[in-house]
Amino acid sequence: MLKVGIKELTLENFQNYGAFVNLLKPKTFHFGEPPIQFFRDMLQLTLDQAAPASFSVNTVQKREPVVVKSEYHSRTGEGILPLDGDILIHCAPATRPGIFPKDQIEIFHVPRLTLVALKPGVWHHAPFAYNCDSVHILIVLPERTYANDCTVLELKEDERIQIAL
């Protein structure tokens, strides 16, 4: 089984997969000064133009740190926001259909309240709770993406990826 270490999110090491922003500690242009500041247009997420954005919650509990599934969306990106704990996400670059780039998997530590915007086609799947028992995660996708733009791959035993904690 391939074992992959965890990376802290940086703009440089995550740029192939999308972007992210810490909502509580923004480092972007803003209007106004304390006591009122407006941090505008902090992050963009490409969504399928035919469907409205839909907000879902994914609750993950602590489990064995092994990637057993991966998925991608061809026509849309995905927003991921851990609300009450840190998470680990796996990512790999977009590929041709059916080609899973196991050797290019990267594992990222996403701190609580850090918004991640994945690009269309990026391989990923349900996050892992990190240093906590469970986490509620806000997921932003076009409505019904799970039914009409989600290719899921169940990894064979020898293809699975162990996260090196």
CB 79 within 8 A of CB 158: no
* Domain covering 2-164, topology: Jelly Rolls (2.60.120)
Q: Is 87 helix (H, G, I), strand (E, B) or coil?
A: strand
Kindly provide the b/e burial profile for residues 64-103, where b requires at least 16 CB atoms within 10 angstroms of the residue's own CB. ebebbebbbbebbbbbbbbeebbbbbbbbebeeeeeeebe
pLDDT in tens, 110-150: 999 999 999 999 999 999 999 999 999 999 999 889 899 99
**Would you state the structure tokens that stand for residue 56, as one six-digit string?**
């879902």
- The pLDDT tens digits for 34-90 are 888 788 878 888 887 777 888 999 999 999 999 999 999 999 999 999 999 999 999
Q: What's the pTM?
A: 0.87
For the chain, the domains span 2-164
